[in-house]
A and B are shown apart, each in its own frame.
Chain A
Amino acid sequence: MAVLASPTALREFAAAKRNEMGAYEQVIYVCGGTGCQASSCLAVIEALRQELASQGLEDKVKVTVTGCHGFCEQGPLMIINPGNILYCKLKAEAVAGIVTRTLRNGEIIEEYCYTDLATGQKVVHESEVPFYKAQDRTVLGMNKLIDCASIEEYISYGGYTALATALTRMAPQEIIGRVKEAGLRGRGGAGFPTGIKWEQARAVPAETRYVICNADEGDPGAYMDRSVLEGNPHRVIEGMAIGAFATGASQGIIYVRKEYPLAVVNARVAIEQAKSLGLLGENILGSGFSFGIRIVRGGGAFICGESSALMASVMGKVGEPRAKDVHAIERGLYDQPTVLNNVETWANVPLIIKHGAEWFASKGTGQSKGTKIFALTGAVKNTGLVEVEMGTPLKDIIFGIGGGAPDGKKIKAVQTGGPSGGCLPVEKFDLPVDFEALTAAGSMVGSGGMIVMDETTCMVDVARYFLRFLQDESCGKCSVCRLGIDRMLEIVEDITGGRGREEQIAVLEDIASAMSIGSLCALGKTAPNPVLSTLKYFRHEYDAHIQEHRCPAGVCRPLISFSIDSEKCTSCGVCARECPGRAISGSRQEPYRIDATLCSKCGICRDACRFGAVAVA
């Protein structure tokens, strides 16, 4: 490919590519993200290509394998344009019918359309699916349109024009000014103003400066960074190049975890493509500015998402944080000024340059501007990636976009911000999601994870679960975090195990407060959040465990017992057949009963019973 030597060359290149793509009559966008790959989208794509070839439609219909659309539970997904037809939960066998009936005859196949869980109605058009309708897909929007392995498609949709504008028509200070004015804050969770970070890094005299893209998304429940980097890597690269120009950096690093193989591959391909077009490397677009990016793969430690641990890891040292009395913007990677931003933050930068600070600042609340992507999971009908304007109330996300709880259960709480975030009760669902409001309520925006819990979740058990995760993932360098999490877990396990004592609550609170002020890094400082927030909002559950030796949600095994309600039991015997411990006995004549000494409280009988006859107390 020829190097694009000027912004004009970039414009001409884009126009040529747009013409090329306009030659197709129809375009099929098939999601090739990790989620859809897990539900065998590659087989669908293969079958589609073969079918188009055998029907001789190759020149008329274009198949675009895109990044993640965010509606992973409905995958594999397909959008057919023109028509904006959405087909979901596809199988390879369905492809022949789709090509013949929909592509050739324009017929809509209801079977593959999305079913609205609230109304039971079929929804034909992608834009009308309630899950998408209420979202503001500023950052994610392009994912469904472009082939993530093609720089041409990104450019044809106006990609790299923001970089061209920044390099040729703006001074670095002007770029920083615009980002500051827009009010962009770090999407990694802490919410530090990006423009101020850039400005400070620029002010430090140094020969070399670095920009780093933090794609070490450690929260197991969140995957928006992965989806952005997988689906639209050029947006991230463009953002980094603009940031590098603004801060005076010459080298960039994308730190991405090894558990994201597709993101690693896509980012690597994207960097090579950008290099070959001269959008990375020496003298970018003839502006005289030079910038290169390399990929560093992380081993998957949660702590390496912390900036100083990440930089230690990049330098080949043990991934442990250091004291941040001297910030990375002064002395970061290799002791040089370093700007580290999250994937989503970088992906917002080209948009701010392109559409202006006012456009960006018009979205969101007073202190939190723009949109934020959340990974909505747990006890809701629709799960997936949700991008909303900052300040959207929790209830709009959970009951609106998420569609509320499935199976008519009652939603009890939501856990936001990843393992070291907090749990908010349903009474707090009026809260707007922004940095300040969530932190004030005892949780945080954090990783953007959002786990919805219904009445069958025990909040003490939730605290135990997250402490367990943090116990494994704390680096262990500083004593408060290592010992504090250990001891808190010990106490919470006492409580869930029925050995809890009233006075242990005070110890929990004491350890939590020492950790939150004394820990070395943000992991330790926020690690008590799962305990503190559940103590704050669900104290009655702790009390029930300790004082009444009872788990209200029926989760903590030492505190519950299973029995069969003879009124509801139809003596079908399914429970007895399923019971791994042979603890259930009975016959047609004799009512079924559970032998408590043999019962391991696994709950399989409860799940197996179709009549709701297995009771938990």
Chain B
Amino acid sequence: MSGEYIDFSINGAEIHVLQRTTVLDAAIEYGICIPHLCHMKGILPMGACRLCIVEMVSGNRSRITASCTLEAKPGMKVLTHTPQLMAARKIIAELLVAEAPNSRAIQDIAVKCGVQEVRVPFHNAECVQCGRCVRVCDEMWNSHSLGFVGRAKERHLDLPFHSRPPTCHRCWTCSDVCPMKAPPCAGPMARGEEYLCGKCASVLSMSERFPEACVQCSLGEGFQCERMRA
């Protein structure tokens, strides 16, 4: 990667980053809060959770795409918090939290995206298929011990032929990066007793007032927001 910098804009703010940086990484670096779940810094983006969608404007045309897979280009104009994007993000977060409520990370994301009510039945799934474990295992350790099997409803995480392969070093990075590793603050929820945590209502008011600004909140601390980790 060459050391050249490029300039583009997010919500009108001028952004100056190394070329080939993704829009999401640039936003995080600049303290612009785009909620995200499947993204991990330094690991190839997958574009699976769709939370980080942004609008890219060029001339009088615009396109909505995930910011984790979008490479910043000179002169690009990106909007991250239009009403349309925020509405869609809220629904995506609602779908995620309804699918897998037993995760502090996902509950936090739901709060950050303004979900106040879950209108579909909870499923309490153990995996949201963000693919963080698979990609960490592939790219960081070159171990390829985990993967997705099947399509659609049947798609699930599995070991090759259901058993731990010799390539697995038992490093457990897979479980370290899993959004399901930490249960909600009040502890794990039993099946049939799921709820929208909403414990972070104080943070919610901040994120409602300044949705695009990083307010150094404690949401997803040590997990999905790399800025907090840095």
Residues in chain A within 8 A of chain B (CB atoms): 301, 303, 318, 322-323, 325-326, 471-480, 482-484, 486-487, 490-491, 503-504, 507, 510-511, 513-514, 517-520
Inter-subunit contact B88/A518 (CB<8 Å): yes
Contact A518 B129 (CB under 8 A): no
CA distance A491 to B120 in the complex (A): 8
A528 CB to nearest chain B CB (Å): 12
Q: How far is the CB of A587 from chain B (nearest CB, A)?
A: 49
Q: How far is the CB of B199 from chain A (nearest CB, A)?
A: 23
CB interface residues, B 72-99, toward A, < 8 Å: 84-85, 87-89, 91-92, 95-96, 98-99
Q: Which chain B residues in 89-129 approach chain A with CB under 8 Å?
A: 89, 91-92, 95-96, 98-99, 119-121, 128-129
Complex contacts, B45 vs chain A, CB 8 Å: 323
> CA of A69 to CA of B161 in the docked complex: distance in angstroms?
46
CB-based contact B50/A472 at 8 Å:
no
Contact of A482 with B129 in the complex, beta carbons under 8 Å: yes
- On whether the beta carbons of B91 and A513 are closer than 8 Å, the reply is yes
Contacting pair A473 B151 (CB below 8 A): yes
CB–CB A507/B119 < 8 A: yes
B92, A479: Cβ atoms under 8 Å?
Answer: yes
A487 and B95 within 8 A (CB): yes
On chain B, which size bracket covers the interface?
Answer: 35 or more
| Chain B: CB-nearest residue to A525 | B64
Q: B155 interface residue, CB < 8 Å from A?
A: yes
Contacts of A475 in B (CB 8 A): 151-152, 155
Closest 6 CB pairs of A and B: A323-B69, A476-B155, A514-B91, A483-B95, A514-B88, A518-B50
Decide if B49 touches A472 in the complex (CB within 8 Å): no
Residue of B nearest to A326 (CB): B71
Report the Cα distance A487→B121, complex, angstroms: 9
B204 within 8 A of A: no
B70 within 8 A of A: yes
* A480 to B95 Cα, complex, angstroms: 8
Q: Specify which of B70, B91, B98, B153 is in contact with A325 (CB 8 Å cutoff).
A: B70
**CB atoms of B121 and A490 under 8 A apart:** yes
B 115-147 contacts with A by CB, 8 A: 119-121, 128-130
Asked if A507 and B120 sit within 8 Å, CB to CB, the answer is yes
CA distance A513 to B84 in the complex (A): 9
Cβ of B65 within 8 Å of any chain A Cβ, yes or no, is: yes
B66 interface hit (Cβ, 8 Å): yes
Q: Counting chain B CB atoms within 10 Å of each CB, which of A487, A491, A517, A519 scores highest?
A: A517
A369 and B148 CA atoms in complex are apart in Å by 43
Rounded to whole Å, the gap between the CB of B139 and the closest CB of chain A is 15
CA distance A484 to B69 in the complex (A): 21
Task: Tell me whether A472 and B95 are in contact in the complex, defined as CB-CB below 8 angstroms, given that A323-B69, A325-B69, A478-B50 are known contacts.
Answer: no
Contacts of A490 in B (CB 8 A): 120-121
A244 to chain B minimum Cβ distance, whole angstroms, is 29
A520 touches B47 (CB 8 A): yes
Closest residue of chain B to A487, judged by CB?
A: B120
A-chain residues with CB within 8 Å of residue B69 when the two chains form the complex: 322-323, 325
Whether B88 lies near A511 (C-beta < 8 A) is no
Residues of the B chain whose Cβ atoms lie less than 8 Å from the Cβ of A322: 47, 69
Knowing A480-B92, A482-B155, A491-B120, say if A323 contacts B65 (CB, 8 Å): yes
| Contact A511/B95 with A322-B47, A479-B128, A517-B64 known, Cβ cut-off 8 Å | yes
B53-A517 in contact (CB<8A): yes
The contact sample of 12 A-B pairs, CB cut-off 8 A, is A323-B69, A476-B150, A477-B46, A479-B96, A483-B98, A486-B153, A487-B95, A490-B121, A514-B87, A517-B85, A518-B53, A519-B50
Identify the B interface with A (CB < 8 A): 45-50, 53, 64-66, 69-71, 84-85, 87-89, 91-92, 95-96, 98-99, 119-121, 128-130, 148, 150-153, 155
Is the Cβ of A518 less than 8 Å from the Cβ of B98?
no
Q: Closest CB of chain A to B133's CB: distance in Å?
A: 15
With A479-B128, A513-B91, A517-B53 known as contacts, the answer to whether A487 contacts B152 (CB < 8 A) is: no
In the complex, are the beta carbons of A323 and B129 less than 8 A apart? Answer: no
- Do B65 and A325 touch (CB < 8 A)? yes
User: Smallest CB–CB gap between B142 and chain A, Å?
Assistant: 17
How far is B49's CA from A476's CA once the two chains are assembled, in angstroms? 11
Residues in A neighbouring B64, C-beta threshold 8 A: 517-518
Q: Which residues of B contact A520 (CB under 8 A)?
A: 47-48, 50, 66
Q: List A contacts of B150 (CB < 8 A).
A: 476
CB neighbours of A511 from chain B (8 A)? 91, 95
Other contacts beyond A476-B129, A478-B49, A479-B49: 18, CB < 8 A: A323-B66, A325-B70, A325-B71, A473-B152, A474-B151, A474-B152, A475-B151, A475-B155, A476-B153, A478-B50, A482-B129, A483-B99, A487-B98, A510-B87, A511-B91, A517-B53, A518-B88, A520-B48
Nearest B-chain residue to A480, judged by Cβ: B50
Query: How far, in whole Å, are A355 and B155 apart by their CA atoms in the complex?
Result: 49
Q: Shortest beta-carbon distance, A505 to chain B, in Å? A: 11
The residues of A that contact B53 with a CB separation of less than 8 Å are 517-518
Cβ contact within 8 Å between B91 and A510: yes
Chain A contacts of B92 at CB under 8 A? Answer: 479-480, 514, 518
**In this complex, which of A471, A487, A507 has the most chain B Cβ atoms within 10 angstroms of its Cβ?**
A487
Asked if residues B50 and A471 are in contact (CB atoms below 8 Å), the reply is no
- Are A301 and B95 interface neighbours, CB within 8 A? no
Residue numbers in A under 8 Å from B49 (CB-CB): 478-479
